[in-house]
Structure 1
Amino acid sequence: MVVTWVTLSPVNGKAFIRYGPGAKFYEGKMELFSYASKREYSIGKITRYIYRATMNNLKIACDYKYQIYSGEAYSEVFYFRTIKPNNSPAEFLVIGDMGNKQALSVKLLNEEIHNETFRYDMIVHVGDFAYNLEDDEGRVSDAYFQEIQSFAGFVPYQVCPGNHEKYENFSFYNNLFTMQSLNHNVKPNESPNINNFFWSYDIGPMHVIAFTTEFYYYTEYGTAQIHTQYQWLKEDLGKAIANRAKVPWIITMAHRPMYDQSKKITDISNDFRVGSSSYPGLEKLFLDSGVDVSFWGHDHIYERTFPMYDMIVQNGTQENPYENPNGIVHIITGSTGCYLHNPQLNPNPPAYSAMVNRDYSYTRVKVFNSTHLRLQQVSQDKGGAVIDEIMIVKNKHLPYKKPK
């Protein structure tokens, strides 16, 4: 578990975190310490000092407390719970496109995270933060992180970039966050390399993958990163397929959607879906790998598709489209809180669009076991009411068959 924090002046003394099991923390027993690394990043006249410290040797399904020390200054005490055993259900939240202004869902997110009836393994933010992180010499990012600290300090806050993180080739974004992959030849108790653009984890019965769609849209920075990411995805999915007897569900996260209600089905030709003469697309790889669900943001709406295979709806049964479907279920959850929120809905949505809603909202996911996964969309406008819910049922997790 990595803790990242920012100061506006260099720490006079040592920067570190003190942590330990919750019951023993205040007694001063079983204390552990981790000293931080430091980076500097300047925007305009302001330099930020970014510190990272890793908490190692954590036990599964245990409560921990931690406190940040920056020289003589120190933070409040935070707490978190480590992930559950592999045979336990996985629960997490997905949010997207949340700014510093109009971050209306923060109150509900706080209530969820600090409610004992909810035990989330993580929150995943699928791009577009603060609007924008670099604005006002980065002061917008300072205010944004101060606001979300109320939940991001207590549950792993996982991210991938959106188009609003493009500043200086995504460099400010890349300095502020600390994403890692635990599934790639990392030895026990060894800290994996930071990669804020693509990463993956096994949590309970699911393998979750985050990647970057923006590589396809900012090719002025080159295209090598498209090929690097594709090769990484191919290898990661290959490992996930080989491990599917133990971890059956494969879930992906990224910013711009492959499918959305604003387009006709014949207009879905984005490069990252189908590729080009210069670089490969991703949908075929995902279909051949049997990806179960893909989460997206970017559009400031909630949208759920029917199961899709290369622009063709592939429902499971007539009674339940999500029972053993022959395609990927796509979820857009890009309306967590953005002041640009004024989505125009298509009066004639394509046939693959099963549900669209304009409320400020976010997504709950619970993977019960190898066969059942539940999605719920929680509306801020309606005081936390669930405005959409489906259960995806899969007796087997296999590559999808090309429709005849």
Structure 2
Amino acid sequence: MLQFFWMDSKMILLLLIGLAVSIRGETDLKSLIPQQVHLSLSDKPNEVVITWSTMEKTADSFVEFGLTLPGLELQHGNMTYFEECGKKGCRSQYIHRVRLSNLTYGASYMYHVGSSDGGWSPVFSFKTPPSPPALEGGDSAAQWAPRILVLGDMGTLNAKSLPYLQEEVMHQSADGILHVGDFAYDMDWESGALGDEFMRQIEPIAAYVPYMTCPGNHEEKRNFSEYRARFSMPGPYESLMHSFDMGMVHFIALSTEFYYFLEYGIKLPVMQFEWLVEDLKKATTAEARAARPWIVAFGHRPMYCSNGGPADCNHYSSRVRTGIPFLGLLGLENLFYEYGVDLLLWGHQHSYERLWPVYNHEVKNGSIEEPYRNPGAPVHIITGSAGCWEGKSPFVLPAPEWSAFRSTDFGYTRLLFQNVSHLLVEQVSVDKGGQVIDSFWIMKDEHRAYEYSVI
């Protein structure tokens, strides 16, 4: 009976689509077809949010999904109107969001998105985590160890890393992607047309694995309106700051741009700092760290860098590191040090740079032989070389003592979590055809706060 009812429902939808075609005509129907499909994680491990756009308002927002084709079910969502205006006029679209909850762990889902009057997208797929999160006091060593790709500063033009990222996703070599700011160059250009093109470009990867983001300086226009409208990160802050868990890892996404665009008010960096303190407190309780020992934070502008040119990160007291100028408030380095954050990921500089474990410009290696075994401070990685029309960021000579490896090759970074104690980090060079040009292990016998001293 249920199967018969489902087939009737499908027939009704097909009839409605046919009716819509005859009434609207082919040209209008194109503006109702879904595009820019992408996934993001929720605040629950067995939930995903699916987001897409249509150029005109549809009758509804549906995701049809399931483990097998005969068992597909419909989930209804919502849509919001978004308009971007520029020199050549205004351009509008509707952004649809559907949350899929209570998904089966360790399963492969098929899905497509659409409406009763506008047609459907191609069929995509995604995988859920292989096991539920460890219960209080559970064995974190048995937890899922995800494989993450990290990129920053990728434009619609010269997106050098995109085919390599797509190949990794298609070969199921990645469980998620972190984009650490700067998209399209810029998403608001031509009243948002370039943003649409960029979102269509990343659909072949973002529709299959969660595409997790933070804003960069190129998203600043109109108080980050394009970024806030297009992405669906977890939490109540319109994707500007958020955190999420993947197996044994707790990820924290920040907006470093609050420190540089103070015309939007001091309230934003203050609110983020207070939120970050509370998030770190929760993430570093004994129970939380037993279940998710690794803590990784990412934002756009780095605290340190050795690139030339006008960059705040090559100043001794960068804003993200030490806080807002003259006030000396809301700096993040002491906070990450105090709470024992393992890894910090940045973009903004169009290059790759690996730092030795560093705190307040002082190298705190684990030992001479194994600098990343039980390091005495967070490890910083700058990975802003995914590819854009602005080109590459050259380095100064000589390199500072805290800089361990530098490259101006276009490329991206892999985080290959192995277990509770070992993380392999690799840098892929697109210029060298996908060759790994830097590789190192972060090894921790214990995840805890670093030996704290105020300097």
Give me the TM-score of the superposition, normalised by structure 1: 0.92
Are residues 1:370 and 2:420 paired?
yes
Whether 2:64 is the aligned partner of 1:10: answer no
Alignment of 1:2-401 (within 5 A): 2-11=49-58, 13-21=59-67, 24=68, 26-27=69-70, 29-43=71-85, 44-70=89-115, 71-85=117-131, 86=133, 87-116=143-172, 118=173, 120-181=174-235, 193=236, 195-242=238-285, 243-262=288-307, 267-276=315-324, 277=327, 279-401=329-451
Deviates more, 1:340-349 or 1:213-222: 340-349
- Indicate conservation of the 8 Å contact 1:18/1:67, yes or no: yes
Equivalenced residues, count: 386
Name the structure 1 match of 2:43.
none
Aligned partners of 2:366, 2:342: CA distance in 1, in Å? Answer: 13
- Deviation, 1:370, is 1.2
Q: Secondary structure at the match of 1:76?
A: coil
RMSD of equivalent CA atoms = 1.7
Amino acid at match of 1:95: L
| Corresponding letter in the other structure for 1:312 | E
Q: 1: distance between equivalents of 2:79 and 2:314?
A: 50
User: Distance in 1 between the 2:74 and 2:422 partners?
Assistant: 39
Alpha-carbon distance in structure 2 between the residues aligned to 1:384 and 1:158: 23
Greater Rg, structure 1 or structure 2?
2
**SS of equivalent residue, structure 2 residue 192:** helix
What is the CA–CA distance in structure 2 between the aligned matches of 1:157 and 1:88, rounded to whole Å?
19
Q: Is the 8 A contact 2:105 2:128 kept in 1?
A: yes
Please state how far the C-alpha of 1:266 moved relative to its aligned partner.
Answer: 8.6
Percent of pairs with identical residues: 40
Q: Which amino acid aligns with 2:415?
A: V
Alpha-carbon contact 2:154-2:182 (below 8 Å) kept: yes
SS in 1 for 2:303: coil
- Aligned-residue offset at 1:341: 1.2
- Any conservation in 2 of the 1:67–1:74 contact (CA below 8 Å)? yes
Q: Partner letter of residue 52 of structure 1?
A: R
Query: Structure 1 residues 308 and 131 mapped into 2: Cα distance closer, same or farther (>3 Å)?
Result: same
Q: From the two aligned structures, give the one with the greater helix fraction.
A: 2
CA distance in 2, matches of 1:134, 1:5: 17
Which amino acid is 1:66 matched to?
Y
Report the secondary structure of 1:386's partner residue.
Answer: strand
Q: Distance in 1 between matches of 2:92 and 2:245?
A: 36
Say whether the 8 Å CA contact 1:41–1:172 is kept in structure 2: no
Partner of 1:187: none
Letter in 1 for 2:226: F
State the TM-score, normalized to the length of structure 2: 0.82
* Structure 1 residue 114, shift from structure 2 partner: 0.8
| Alpha-carbon distance in 2 for matches of 1:285, 1:127 | 22
